[in-house]
Structure formats: C-alpha cells, structure tokens
Structure 1
Amino acid sequence: MAAAAAEKSKPGWRAVVAALRHRKTAYMLLFGFAAGLPYALVLGTLYAWLSDSGEIDLETMGVFSLIGLAYAFKFLWSPALDRIDIPGLRRLGKRKQWIVTAQLFIGAALASLSFITPSNETIGIFSLLAGLAAFASATQDVVIDAWRVDVADDVATIDILSTVYQMGYRIAALVGGALALFAAERYGWPATYFGMGVLMLVVGFAGLWAPDADTKALKALESQRGDDPYGLRKAGQILPRVRGWALVAVGLLWGWALVTVGVFMVQSLSSDPEMRPDSVDFISTMGPLIVIATVVIPALIAAWLERMRAQGRYTIPAQVSGGDDIQTGHYASPFAAKSSGDRAMDHLYRALVLPLTDLIGRLGWAMIIVIALVLTYRITDAIWGSFAYPFYLGELQYTKDEVAVASKFFGVGALLLGLALGGYLLTAIGRMLTLTLGAFFAAATNLLYADLARGGAVVQTVADNSGFTWLVVQLGGDERLSKLMMAIAGENIAVGVAGAAFVAYLSSIVSKGYSAVQYALLSSLTLLVGTLGRGALGQMIEERGYFDVFILTTLIGMFAVVLCVIEWVRQARLGKAAGVVAPEAAAEPAE
C-alpha cells in the first residue's frame, strides 16, 4: 500500500514510465496489437486481395457485409463470454481462456485463407473463413476489454492500460494495412496472409503466460453462498417470480436480436448475389431496433427493478422461517433455490440483467448523461470517416501515393503521438479534463478540413511559418502535400488524445464483476450514431459540399464537449460527497 501511494505521488511522466515497465502493460500492448491486426486484414486489406484477383466484382464483395456486423453486434454474445468456461481451459484464467482460444482460431483462419484462391467458385468457403475470423476477432475484443478492466491496479492503471491498448491497435492497423500491401506486392497475397496467420498464432501462444484477473476471492465467496452464489435470494432482493418475468422479457428480446443478426449473416453467405441483403439498409433499419431491444428496453426493466428494490416492493421479506442463514444463502424459506431450474434462472439473470441493474444502481439518472456522452463522443471522426478517401482523392485531387504517405504512414505516426500525449495527460491532469480537451480538439480540428475544402490557405500558412513545409520538401514532397499532412497531423493527434481518454473513461465506469457485458454494450453504442448518420451525411455532401459538412461536424462535436463538462461536474460532486475520486470508486462492482 505504501508503494502504491508513493507511485501515485510521482509526477505524471514518472508514473507513466513506471507503468510501462509493468508486465501487465506489456501484455496490454500485445493484446491491442492482436485486436487490431485481424480487423485490418479482414475489413480492409482483404478487399484489395479480392480486387487483385480480377474475378470478384463489387456486387459479389457484398458477401463480406457480415464481417462488419460481427464487430457492430459483438455485445450480443458477451454474456456468454462472461459466464461460460471452455472445457479444459478454465485453469488458464477467466479471460485468458477466451483470449488465447480466439487468437489461435484467428491465426488458423488467416493461414487457411492463404491456401484458397478467391474466385466465383471459391468465394463461399473464402467468405466463410473470413467471417469466422471476424467473429473470433470480435469475440477477442470483448474479452480483452474485460481483461483490461479486471487486471488494472495502482501501477498499471486503467488510464495507462487503455492508452497502451490503443497504441498496439494502431500499430497493428499499420502492419495489417500498409505493410501487408507492400508484402503482397513482393511476395503475393497467399504468402502475406499465411505470414499474418503465423504471427497471430505466435501472439496466441505468448498469451498463455499473460497475467489474469484474480477470481479466487470471488469463487470463494460464491462457494460460501452455497445455493445462492450471487446473493439474489437473500432478504431485500427482488422476488424470484418477478425476476423470472424480467428475465423472460429480456431473454426474448436478446434472442430475437441474435436470430435477426444470425439470419442476416446466413443470407449474406448466399452464392446468389440476388439473395444477399443490403448491409447498409440492414444497419439503418434493423440496427436501431436491435439496440432498442437489447439495450433500451432491458435498461428500462433494470431501472424498474432497482426502483422496486429500493422501495422494498416485490422483495424477499426480512423475516424468514427458522433455520435460514442469510449470510451464507442457505434458506429453508420458500425463496430458496430448490431445483436446477431455479439455479439456471439465477445464472441467466446474472448474465443478462444484473450487468444493467448494476450500472443503473450505481449511476441512477446519471446513466442518461453517460449514454448521451457515449453516443456523441466519437461521432465527429466516426461519421465522416467513410468519406475521407473520396475527399482526398476526388475533391482535393491528391494521388493515391500521396494519400498513402500522408494518411497511412505519417497519419499513423501522428495518431500514436496523440495516444502517447493522451496517456501522459491522463496521468498528469486527470481523466475528465483530458476527456474534455480531447472532445474539444477532435471537434475543432474538423475546421482544418473545412479550410482545405476552401483551398487550404490557413493550413498552408501555418505549415510554411512553422517550417513544416520545408521539412516535407526536404523529404521529397511538395508544398501541396505539406498542407494535407498538416491537416491530418492535427486531426490525428487530437483523435489520439480523445481516443485514449475515452477508452479510459469507459473502462472506469464499468464494474469488474460485469466488465465484459457492460463494456461491450457501451462500446457498441459508440459507433451507432456515426453509422446511422453516414447516409444523410453523404446526401449533404452531394447537395452542399464538404465545407458545410465539416462546419456541421464541428458543431456536433461541441455537444460532446458540453456533456463532458456535465459529467465532470457530476463526478466531482460525487467524489466530494464520498470523500474519494469518483471514477475510481465507480469502477468497483456494487455489492
């Protein structure tokens, strides 16, 4: 304890250096790389391979629409990852068993792709392997996010782990993107994907020695509670029959969502292009309904349950019959779990409903602020990301090589610099101030692109006067390229700071006991508004041009700034009332 206190008293940069030497931090970098590599390979680079094949048309490439859905709706199977053990692998650890298995599966799937030449005859098995790799990758993401929350401590803090994770992720994007393209040009696509598959297998085997969350205390507590491992049947808790109806309602909603997404994925694998559904139309129409069914309505049910429990309505009475032991959960009362069905209901309730009741129980009405912040924080960069290349190549008339240099190489370097700066700021000035600054600058840097849309006079002047133009010219570029690189640098540094702060914020408000489900739900909501708004944004670009769009995205980003300030004030008041720092206190599971 004394060592931890001394560590916290160090200046920001010294705490960062101490954290970077930690074993957990090293594995966080490795896991971040493992999360980013398959995403880049199956959601980006793979399309270049299909294009090079010369046999796959754009319509047939629509078969890969299911790949993005695996990431968009990964929260649907997160409850299973939180509660189910893989036979024979539980001894690896609650999270590691899934992380290592997913990584080995991804490696095998990528390597298997190297033995298939994409064509109209093989597209079915090719897309199946790619889809399975994406599913395993999305599964890995859920568990890695939970692992980060579970293993954080006073040295390897959640802020540092969140920053390092994103750095590993971005490095993997460079390896799976630009480096993979260079390798394919020289050695061919099969060799490239086989090498990437072997790399993932190596990461998976290395993960066997990663630390995992210490769940011994939780297991001991659960065993002491006997037939009531989650404390659901003690006095003051919601009556089993009421919990049962709530579980049925939530279960039916989640079941409908899983079936809906599953049917769409199966239809997307059809060999007949006419039978394949439109992924954009599916996300825009069914996406909101799935979120309402799996998040909004269950959250309202959870809020009602928490209200009833607080008011003492529909709860187990304090007076129970003789022979009961409320401390251990062994009851002689009618409320005891008397069958395997009762125990199964408790397990399912714990997986589907308790994560939401825990969030709402801790946050209360502040949950509205949190959801609003989650929905808007990354909208500025998420909503226009799909139009970046049309803007660079079409509107500004840069060449593909210029865009590759400015965006893929220089841009990734600027993003890593922003992440490093974000990690330092989290330690030096605190999470909420960093979160607020990140939101402001991520929104404000859209004005750089607005200037580019009008000719880029302001950006060019800054580049010239700062010496940046001279540096770019010395490295083989020209003044016009320096203008694009300056804008991309400004945006990516800001996005890096915002990304580091946002992941740290999300990680801080989830409970360790429910980290997989809660983080998966919140992170999935992050991309919702951006995904649904791209159609309208594309129409606005056609009608009014890019300048007005960038002004609009800047203004939208300022909503997130306002919400950050509101959340900052809320946490500050909560911290004063409790006598502790609110975010860290909120990270602990509620009893």
Structure 2
Amino acid sequence: MTTPLDPHLRRPLPHPRLAASYRLFVTAVLGFASGLPLALTGQAMQAWLSIEGLDIATIGFLSLVGLPYTFKFLWAPLMDRFELWPRWGRRRGWLVLTQLVLAGLLWLLAATPPKGALQLFALLGVVIAFVSASQDVVIDAFTTDLLPPAERGLGSSLKVMGYRLAMILSGGIALIWTDAVTGSGWTWPEVYRLMAVLMVGAAVFSALVLPRLPLPEAPTSVARNDLIGFVAVMLAAATGYLVTLHLLTPLAGLLLAPWLEGSTLSAALKTRWVDLLALLLGIAFTLPLAGWAARRARFDTLIGGLRGYFSQRGAAAFLLFIVLYKLGDAFAGALMTPFLLKAMAFSSAEVGVVNKVIGLWLTIGGALLGGLLMLKLGLWRALMVFGVLQAASNLGFWWLAAQGKGSLGALTMPAFDFWIVSLSQPTEVDGALLMVVTFENLSGGMGTAAFLAFLMSLTQQRFTATQFALLSAFASVGRVWVGPLAGVLAESIGWPSFFIVSTVLALPALWMLWALRLPVRALEVVPGQAPADD
C-alpha cells in the first residue's frame, strides 16, 4: 500500500491526528498575533492615556482609532483577489507584510507623546488599527480555510486562547510593568517597543512555519476593476469624512441646540454629544455612498463576496444578530480600564493582576470550556446559554460600582518575580473586583468561542477573506462604535446606571437568537460531514 501524497506539495501526508494538532497549534499562534495589536489600540492605550491625565470623554472618543476594524470588508476583497508572492500562497505574503509594518508603526507610536502630539498620536493609532485589521482579515481567512468544519469549535477556542494570551501580555502584564510602586517601573514607550519586537517574531513564524493551503480557484474578476473599485470606495469614504466634518457636524449642533441649551451638562460634554450625532449622520451618509461607488466601479470581488453571503437563508438577520450578540458585553467593557483606574481608584498593579492577568486567564479557561461544551450543546444552544451568562455578568460591574471598593474585603498577592513580570512588594487585591472579573471573563470566553465558530460557519471558501471580514466587522461595531457613546453616557448618568444600560443592550440579541433558532441549527455540523457550501 502506498502512502497518500499531498496533492499540492507532492509529499507524504502526516498522520491525521498529528495534522489536526498542527493545525490547532498554528491557529493558537495566529490568535496571539491577532490579539497583540488589538490590545495596544484598545485597553493598553486607554491605560496610557488615563495615566497621562486625559478625561474620560476624550478617551472614549479616542476609541475611534479602532474604526478600521468595522470597515475592513472594504479592502478585504483585495486579499482574496491578489497574491503578493505566489510561491507563498494566497495568505502568507499578506500576513508577513502586515506583521512587519505593524512592528514599524508600534515603534513609531512609542516615540510619540500623547499629550504633546495628540493628533499625531491618534493618527498613528488609526493607521495601526488599519494594518492590524488587515492582518486580522488574513488570519481569519487562513484559519477558516485551514480548519475542517469538525475542528472549528475547538479551533475557535484555541484562537481565543491565543489572542487572550496576547492581551494578558500587552494589556495586563504591561500594566504591572508600568506601575512605579509595586511593578517594574517601565514607561509605556518601552512597552510598545517590546511589542514591536514581538510582531517581528510573528512575521518570522508566518514566513517559516505556516502550512500551505489548497490552491484557490482561479479569480474570475478583472484585476483592474478591483483596484479601481477599491480606490472608488476609499474616495467615497474620504468624501463622507469631509461631508461629516463640514456639513453634518454643524447640522448636528443645530439639531441638538434646543436640548443642550436647557441642560446642565458641561461645555465639553455638550460638544461630545454633538460629535456623537455627527458621527451617526456621517455613517448613514457614507455607507450608501461607498456601496454606490463599488457598483459603479464594478468592484467584482467585493460585490461577488457580498452577493454570495446574502444568498444564504437569513443572511440579513444574521448580520443584525452579529452586531447585537456582543453589544452589551462591548458596551460594558468599552471603558473598563478608565472605570477601574479613575472611578474606582484601583492601582495599576491591582488592575493588571486581577482584570488583565487573572481575568484573561479565566477568559482562556472559559473559551476552552466553551469549545468543549459546544461538542455537547451544539451551536445554537451554546450561543443561547453563553449569551445569557454574558448578559448576567454585566450586573456584576453594576454591583461593584454601586457598592464601591472594599465591600468584600481584600486578598494579599505576595511579591513575585516570574522573569517577564514581577511585583516588588505584596499587593492587595480587592475581593469584589476579583469575584466580578471571574464571572465576567469566564462567561465572555465561552461566548466568544461559540461566536467565532458561528462566524466560520457562515463563510464560503472562495470569498473567505471578504465574507469573514464583513461578518467580523459587524461584530466589532459594538467594540469600536460604542466608545464615544459610552464615554459621554458614563459621565452623564454615572457608572451604576451605565452598567444597567449595558445589561439591557444584551437582551435583544437573545430574543433574535430564539427567533433564528432554525437557521442557526441548520449550520451545525454533523461529525464527519461538511456543510454544503464549504
């Protein structure tokens, strides 16, 4: 009997279990590469800005540096259509390029002071998010193409584990490093330079270790049209920005003037409410304009990918559900770091140990537990059970904000030195904070694992990058777009009411999930059988 050969590499195929383990290992490492820059434009950046003394509303608006994550489906088709280096396959060249560019940008951001050059700092943050979102497009497409349907539940768990480990490093251990009293006393620029070096290591891994994927179908779109279409969409986005800046912002001021003039809000908060309405009007203007530009320019890869997705039963309803499923979770977490550091007055080391290190390890545990439970529950029941737990976890932060620090006593974390992280002296850990973070991270990890498996189930291999980018862009709407509203609302109504609102926002997704139970169950994979559209 002859040994089967890989049809693309002409070499013996590995043992199935060994090959599966290798695929899952690669998925976990790519998850780490994805999570590293995400934290550096999110919670780590918020911590840096909080320590620099910026106000909550400004920090909330600076969460908009993550805007590219919600629009990445506009340029994802180029990554489906073009190969940078054909000998590396459709995905690897893009992956190495984005990771090297990220390394350079993080090094440059480390040299930019937030207070002294806030506009340049914000611009660099946007560019980092753009390249990071592009890396995510490739990683999502690669792992979706790599994992057979039966491995996607566990693969999603390991991917969550990877990026949560990265967030432990960049968003948790980094807080301990920067604590001058009990930590290592590092500066934030030093932290960002280290993360740049790690991104170089990720690029080396991508270049040398990633397995080759089966050859994709030959593209049917015209390359020239795709390039022109991309430029047309970007021009539409730039036009939308200018219209928002010069026309819609003054219009928002006129619309809100009767309400704002009679309110007791500060001048700064009044300005933020105007900015928020202008942002929403700008989105409503820009998205239809970009769609029209794509059709006129015959951006066939984008249009074909979207048409293929919307040909599925319940496609539009799925998009709305994708926005809503993590909305309450994202709303509660949008300003979690400033809430804990400024409103609750926890120390950087305490937040780093509890919310970022212990909490993120619990998220990893929740993700792995979620992947295992999905084997028993199935996709729909897992989404429902984990979604209920996510909603309930937001009430924990309402309780923490209402009861205050020290309501359950404190534990003492002994001093330690684990090479990459150390505490120079014993540090008190608030018991209430520890309890709330435990529940929130376990439930959030389980929900994320089920959610990623759901997104993978909705994509078609020919348009993996385009379709997964579309779905994950909608999924990131909550994480990115609620930041400005969260900052304004927290200052307007107070933190306890803010967390009640975040809990209420989680309920519509559960209602939709019940209404969509039949089409979601149709996506569930029978062991040994692939979905028809995969």
Name the CA distance, whole Å, in 2 between partners of 1:121 and 1:473. Answer: 38
1:333 paired residue number: none
Residue 106 of structure 1, CA deviation: 1.6
Written as runs of structure 1 = structure 2, the 5 A alignment for 1:357-368 is 357-363=307-313, 366-368=314-316
Residue 151 of structure 1, CA deviation: 1.0
The answer to whether the 8 A contact 1:384-1:534 is kept is no
- Cα gap change, 1:84 to 1:280, in 2 (>3 Å): farther
- Look up the equivalent residue of 1:492 and give its one-letter code: N
The answer to whether the 8 A contact 1:257-1:293 is kept is yes
The answer to whether the 8 A contact 1:435-1:501 is kept is yes
Match of 1:171 among 137, 148, 165: 165
Residue 27 of structure 1, CA deviation: 1.3
Name the CA distance, whole Å, in 1 between partners of 2:401 and 2:87. Answer: 57
Written as runs of structure 1 = structure 2, the 5 A alignment for 1:182-221 is 182-183=176-177, 185-186=184-185, 188=187, 191-208=190-207, 209-215=209-215, 218-219=217-218
Name the CA distance, whole Å, in 1 between partners of 2:106 and 2:244. Answer: 20
2:469 paired residue number: 520
2:83 paired residue number: 85
- Cα gap change, 1:66 to 1:439, in 2 (>3 Å): closer
Structure 1 position 567 matched with structure 2 position 516: yes
Written as runs of structure 1 = structure 2, the 5 A alignment for 1:100-499 is 100-112=96-108, 116=111, 118=113, 131-153=126-148, 157-183=151-177, 185-186=184-185, 188=187, 191-208=190-207, 209-215=209-215, 218-219=217-218, 229=220, 254-260=233-239, 283-293=279-289, 348-349=299-300, 351-363=301-313, 366-393=314-341, 396-455=344-403, 472=411, 481-499=430-448
Residue 19 of structure 1, CA deviation: 8.5
Residue 62 of structure 1, CA deviation: 11
The answer to whether the 8 A contact 1:574-1:582 is kept is no
- Look up the equivalent residue of 1:164 and give its one-letter code: L
Residue 519 of structure 1, CA deviation: 1.3
1:241-281 superposed Cα distances (whole Å, 9 cap, x missing partner)? xxx9xx9x9989835543347869999xxxxxxxxx99856
- Cα gap change, 1:298 to 1:504, in 2 (>3 Å): farther
Comparing 412-421 with 392-401, which one deviates more in the overlay? 392-401
The answer to whether the 8 A contact 1:67-1:134 is kept is yes
The answer to whether the 8 A contact 1:74-1:138 is kept is yes
Let me know the Cα RMSD of the aligned residues.
4.5
1:537-591 superposed Cα distances (whole Å, 9 cap, x missing partner)? 556555654444434433332221222223232344688xxx9689952651xxx
The answer to whether the 8 A contact 1:95-1:143 is kept is yes
The secondary structure found in structure 2 opposite 1:211 is coil
Residue 187 of structure 1, CA deviation: 5.6
Name the CA distance, whole Å, in 1 between partners of 2:164 and 2:519. Answer: 32
- Cα gap change, 1:531 to 1:282, in 2 (>3 Å): farther
Residue 382 of structure 1, CA deviation: 0.9
- Look up the equivalent residue of 1:145 and give its one-letter code: D
| Structure 2: 5+ residue stretches without partners | 1-15, 179-183, 247-271, 415-425
The secondary structure found in structure 2 opposite 1:506 is helix
- Cα gap change, 1:379 to 1:129, in 2 (>3 Å): closer
Residue 393 of structure 1, CA deviation: 4.6
2:269 paired residue number: none
1:31 paired residue number: 30
For normalisation by structure 2, the TM-score amounts to 0.74
The answer to whether the 8 A contact 2:69-2:476 is kept is no
- Cα gap change, 1:429 to 1:46, in 2 (>3 Å): closer
- Cα gap change, 1:147 to 1:587, in 2 (>3 Å): farther
Residue 199 of structure 1, CA deviation: 1.8
The answer to whether the 8 A contact 1:63-1:127 is kept is no
- Cα gap change, 1:494 to 1:79, in 2 (>3 Å): same
The answer to whether the 8 A contact 1:509-1:583 is kept is no
The answer to whether the 8 A contact 1:75-1:520 is kept is yes
The answer to whether the 8 A contact 1:283-1:532 is kept is no
Name the CA distance, whole Å, in 1 between partners of 2:242 and 2:399. Answer: 45
- Look up the equivalent residue of 1:500 and give its one-letter code: A
2:451 paired residue number: 502
- Look up the equivalent residue of 1:485 and give its one-letter code: L
Name the CA distance, whole Å, in 2 between partners of 1:489 and 1:418. Answer: 10
Name the CA distance, whole Å, in 1 between partners of 2:342 and 2:195. Answer: 32
The secondary structure found in structure 1 opposite 2:198 is helix
Residue 428 of structure 1, CA deviation: 3.0
Residue 408 of structure 1, CA deviation: 1.4
The answer to whether the 8 A contact 1:298-1:356 is kept is no
1:69 paired residue number: 67
Residue 112 of structure 1, CA deviation: 5.0
Structure 1 position 94 matched with structure 2 position 94: no
Residue 500 of structure 1, CA deviation: 0.8
The answer to whether the 8 A contact 1:76-1:258 is kept is no
1:333-384 superposed Cα distances (whole Å, 9 cap, x missing partner)? xxxxxxxxxxx95xx32x1211122122222xx1232022112100111123
- Cα gap change, 1:194 to 1:391, in 2 (>3 Å): closer
The secondary structure found in structure 1 opposite 2:213 is coil
The answer to whether the 8 A contact 1:418-1:496 is kept is yes
- Cα gap change, 1:195 to 1:553, in 2 (>3 Å): closer
Residue 40 of structure 1, CA deviation: 2.2
The answer to whether the 8 A contact 2:60-2:335 is kept is no
- Look up the equivalent residue of 1:169 and give its one-letter code: Y
Name the CA distance, whole Å, in 1 between partners of 2:244 and 2:17. Answer: 46
Residue 158 of structure 1, CA deviation: 1.8
Comparing 71-80 with 35-44, which one deviates more in the overlay? 35-44
Name the CA distance, whole Å, in 2 between partners of 1:53 and 1:152. Answer: 43
Rg (Cα) greater in structure: 1
Amino-acid identity (%): 28
- Cα gap change, 1:169 to 1:256, in 2 (>3 Å): same
- Cα gap change, 1:265 to 1:383, in 2 (>3 Å): same
Name the CA distance, whole Å, in 1 between partners of 2:362 and 2:68. Answer: 29
- Look up the equivalent residue of 1:371 and give its one-letter code: L
- Look up the equivalent residue of 1:428 and give its one-letter code: K
The secondary structure found in structure 1 opposite 2:153 is helix
- Cα gap change, 1:100 to 1:200, in 2 (>3 Å): same
- Look up the equivalent residue of 1:512 and give its one-letter code: Q
Written as runs of structure 1 = structure 2, the 5 A alignment for 1:10-49 is 22-45=21-44
The answer to whether the 8 A contact 2:310-2:316 is kept is no
The answer to whether the 8 A contact 1:509-1:586 is kept is no
- Look up the equivalent residue of 1:558 and give its one-letter code: L
- Look up the equivalent residue of 2:340 and give its one-letter code: Y
Name the CA distance, whole Å, in 2 between partners of 1:474 and 1:60. Answer: 33
The answer to whether the 8 A contact 2:331-2:479 is kept is yes
Residue 176 of structure 1, CA deviation: 1.5
The answer to whether the 8 A contact 1:541-1:549 is kept is yes
